Structure 1
Amino acid sequence: MESRLQKLEALRDSLMQRLERYHQHQKRADGPLDPDFAEQAVEVQNDEVVEALEEEGRDRLIQVNHALARIQQDAGDICERCQGAISAGRLSALPEATLCADCASSEQ
């Protein structure tokens, strides 16, 4: 079975690749906007979606890197807020978790 560290490293690598693709899309690596106005409108709308996905990816990458740093500090399974244990089930489902379920639910 894959360890939490391996899951986080794989997730980090996947997010970095995804962010690079989003970045290439934003730079119009595939070429300029279509000359047809209707197509331009669709492309601009797609850009907005890609921008939102990119922001979400950057936020998740920050969480993953933070979780990796906590593992290196031997604090990966300790809740940042209450200092209690984060359950193995939670860490398996959400490897970047740094809060126990109780603290995470009270944060919402």
Structure 2
Amino acid sequence: MSDRQERLETLRDELIDRLERYRADKTRAGGPLDKDLEEQSIELENAETIDSLENEAEEELIQVMHALARIREGQGENCENCGELIDEARLSAVPFTTLCRDCAEAG
């Protein structure tokens, strides 16, 4: 197993754990709002923040899963747009990338 694949699998597991914590927190906070208007405002702001963090984690998990699937198919180091090899420095910096720098900048 490659170092990149290990990093991606670790990241995948961390993202799944993070998503479970966000969902558990939303479930706990899902009760009625506090009667104090200031507390309601804080509760709503916290819920929005958690929703945003959850959405970001879900999007990143999709990218990680896609990159892992490409690795399993033997295409993990090739740009899925132009087919050229993705620079090793880019793969190290953004392990879930599936695009070379040129294609990523063009998109």
TM-score above 0.5, yes or no: yes
Once the two structures are TM-superposed, the CA of residue 29 in structure 1 deviates from its matched residue by 5.7
Q: Counterpart of 2:103?
A: 103
Deviations 1:53-101 (A, max 9, x none): 1111100000000000000001000000000000110000100000000
Residue 73 of structure 2 corresponds to which residue in structure 1?
73
Q: Distance in 2 between matches of 1:29 and 1:3?
A: 39
| Structure 1 segment 12-91 matched on structure 2, within 5 A | 12-28=12-28, 33-91=33-91
Return the offset for 1:26.
Answer: 1.3
Shift of 1:43: 1.1
Query: How far apart, in 2, do the equivalents of 1:92 and 1:23 lie?
Result: 30
Residue identity matched to 1:75: Q
TM-score by length of 1: 0.91
Partner of 2:7: 7
Q: Which runs of 5+ in 1 are unaligned?
A: none
Unaligned runs of at least 5 residues, structure 2: none
Q: CA RMSD in A?
A: 1.7
> Which runs of structure 1 show a deviation greater than 3 angstroms over 4 or more consecutive aligned residues?
29-35
Deviations along 1:22-66, one digit per CA (max 9) or x if unpaired, are 101111269654443211210111100110111111000000000
Aligned to 2:94: 94
